[in-house]
């Protein structure tokens, strides 16, 4: 028997397990509609595809510098200039193998085993699992209507008192998964000031930037230069499978991150970097895609409550509806599995995001087509009634 490490004992990412089941059903010929994972129905933008085709034709695709191609880092610096009116030195930008690698690198560079890091509950499960695998103490801070569904200095103070710890880091996502919360500029400034004043590193997950429908989307770079920014081409740029993301780092973190990246990843795939550089020019096309998500959102905001699935949080950003299934079940995992088996609609149980109250919640991704939204809700209505 292989003896596994304690760090390997983490909860499964249930959304991916449901996706695997959905894939098997689709391969068996079932008409599956997947609302389980945040994967845009749209392909990568045309400019990205054309750049990748050209690179494949000459075939010289290899390693790059560990922090990424200069052209991409300069393009990302221009992104912050255009979108956020912030000047960022391209040398502070590190290109990563998806945002997942960015989180690994940030946690390894910033924290030692036993350090306490706060995340929101409900929140993205991979945060919790990666932190636990690295031997860090996860402090889950409940967010609700009272906190405007985001982390606040007051909620962080209360969590530290309750857990008997002092935080070393705070991880905030805006727009957030699964709640869709957009943390506005004023709230972000309060959180940044609190962290800076208490020796806490703020990590800002901005992978759903560009997908805001209500509220004040802001980058943590707009309110200070000490936060670690993590972003990705997966969501707004529709490049999930390309596994390409980036970090914006305080200057004194650049070299440590570079050294870690050299050994852990060597570099992000050059082909994906070439495509991503071109994708930065595709805003007009991507805004059309965004309007499709907005239409899906507007439809589901009305339709889901009609089905007895009230929203647990406002759908201000990203592309998720987080709903209360307590009228029908006290076991969201079983509910999601039966829903897939009986209707071929794949969703994600709330236990992925909230181990305390998630048994009464379900997340539905609306990154698909309007036709899928209409058909999925029709099937759900027939099943629960």
Tokens 């780092």 -> residue: 249
What distance in Å separates the CA atoms of residue 372 and residue 221, rounded to the nearest whole number?
37
Please write the tens of the pLDDT for every residue from 41-82: 999 999 999 999 999 999 889 999 999 999 999 999 999 999
Please write the tens of the pLDDT for every residue from 262-292: 999 999 999 999 999 999 999 999 999 999 9
pLDDT reported for residue 105? 98
Beta-sheet strand order (sheet of 245-248): 93-96, 245-248, 228-232, 201-205, 167-173, 116-121, 137-142
Residue 158's pLDDT band (cuts 50, 70, 90): very high
Residue 385's pLDDT band (cuts 50, 70, 90): confident
Residue 18's pLDDT band (cuts 50, 70, 90): confident
CATH classification number, 62-281, choose in 3.50.50.60, 3.30.565.10, 3.40.640.10, 3.90.226.10 = 3.40.640.10
Q: Tell me the CATH class for 6-44+284-384.
A: alpha beta
Please write the tens of the pLDDT for every residue from 95-121: 999 999 999 999 999 999 999 999 999
Residue 310's pLDDT band (cuts 50, 70, 90): very high
Using DSSP's 3-state secondary structure scheme, residue 359 falls into helix
Q: Is the pLDDT of residue 6 over 90?
A: no
Please give the backbone phi and psi of residue 204, each rounded to the nearest 5 degrees, phi first.
Answer: -105, 110
Residue 340's pLDDT band (cuts 50, 70, 90): very high
Residue 257's pLDDT band (cuts 50, 70, 90): very high
pLDDT reported for residue 109? 98
Please state the rounded mean pLDDT for residues 119-127: 96
Residue 2's pLDDT band (cuts 50, 70, 90): confident
Give pTM, 2 decimals.
0.95
Please write the tens of the pLDDT for every residue from 189-245: 999 999 999 999 999 999 999 999 999 999 999 999 999 999 999 999 999 999 999
pLDDT reported for residue 151? 98
Share of the chain above pLDDT 90, in %: 93
Please write the tens of the pLDDT for every residue from 24-37: 999 999 999 999 98
Residue 1's pLDDT band (cuts 50, 70, 90): confident
Q: Is the pLDDT of residue 89 over 90?
A: yes
Please state the rounded mean pLDDT for residues 310-334: 96
First to last CA, the chain: 48
Over 233-300, what HEC string results? CCCCCCCHHHCCEEEECCHHHHHHHHHHHHHHCCCCCHHHHHHHHHHCCCHHHHHHHHHHHHHHHHHH
What are the sequence ranges of the domains in the chain? 6-44+284-384, 62-281
Cis status of the peptide bond prior to 226, with omega within 30 of 0: no
pLDDT reported for residue 183? 97
What distance in Å separates the CA atoms of residue 204 and residue 229, rounded to the nearest whole number?
5
Instruction: State the chain's mean pLDDT as an integer.
Output: 96
Going by C-alpha positions, the residue among 242, 237, 204 that lies closest to residue 79 is 237
pLDDT reported for residue 15? 78
Q: Would you say the C-alpha torsion 355, 178, 193, 199 has a positive or negative sign?
A: positive
Q: Is the pLDDT of residue 129 over 90?
A: yes
pLDDT reported for residue 131? 96
């Amino acid at each position: 028997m292989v003896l596994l490490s304690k760090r390997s004992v983490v909860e499964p990412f249930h959304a991916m397990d449901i996706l695997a089941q959905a894939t098997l059903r689709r391969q068996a010929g079932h008409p599956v509609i997947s609302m389980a994972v945040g994967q845009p129905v749209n392909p990568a933008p045309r400019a990205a595809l054309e750049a990748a085709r050209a690179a494949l034709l000459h075939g010289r695709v290899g390693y790059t510098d560990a922090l990424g191609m200069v052209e991409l880092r300069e393009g990302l610096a221009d992104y912050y200039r255009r979108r956020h009116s912030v000047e960022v030195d391209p040398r502070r930008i590190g290109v990563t193998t998806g945002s997942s690698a960015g989180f690994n690198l940030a946690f390894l560079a910033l924290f030692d085993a036993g350090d306490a890091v706060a995340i929101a509950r409900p929140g993205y499960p991979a945060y919790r699992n990666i932190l636990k695998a690295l031997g860090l103490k996860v402090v889950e801070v409940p967010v609700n209507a009272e906190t405007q569904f985001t982390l606040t200095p007051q909620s962080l103070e209360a969590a530290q008192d309750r857990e008997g710890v002092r935080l070393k880091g705070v991880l905030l996502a805006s727009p957030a998964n699964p709640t869709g919360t957009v943390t506005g500029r004023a709230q972000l400034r309060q959180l940044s000031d609190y962290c800076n004043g208490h020796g806490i590193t703020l990590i800002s997950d901005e992978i759903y930037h560009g997908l805001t429908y209500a509220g004040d989307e802001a980058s943590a770079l707009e309110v200070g230069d000490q936060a670690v920014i993590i972003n990705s081409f997966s969501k707004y740029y529709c490049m999930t499978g390309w596994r390409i993301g980036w970090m914006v780092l305080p200057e004194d973190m650049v070299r440590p991150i570079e050294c870690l990246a050299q050994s852990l990843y060597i570099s992000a795939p050059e082909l994906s970097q070439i495509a991503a550089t071109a994708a930065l020019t595709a805003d007009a096309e991507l805004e059309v895609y965004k309007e499709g998500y907005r239409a899906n959102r507007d439809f589901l905001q009305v339709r889901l409550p009609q089905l007895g699935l009230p929203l647990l949080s406002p759908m201000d950003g990203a592309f998720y509806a987080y709903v209360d299934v307590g009228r029908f079940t006290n076991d969201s995992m079983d509910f999601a599995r039966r829903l897939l088996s009986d209707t071929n609609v794949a969703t994600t149980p709330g236990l992925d995001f909230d181990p305390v109250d998630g048994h009464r919640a379900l997340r539905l991704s609306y990154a698909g087509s309007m036709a899928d939204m209409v058909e999925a809700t029709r099937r759900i209505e027939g099943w629960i009634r």
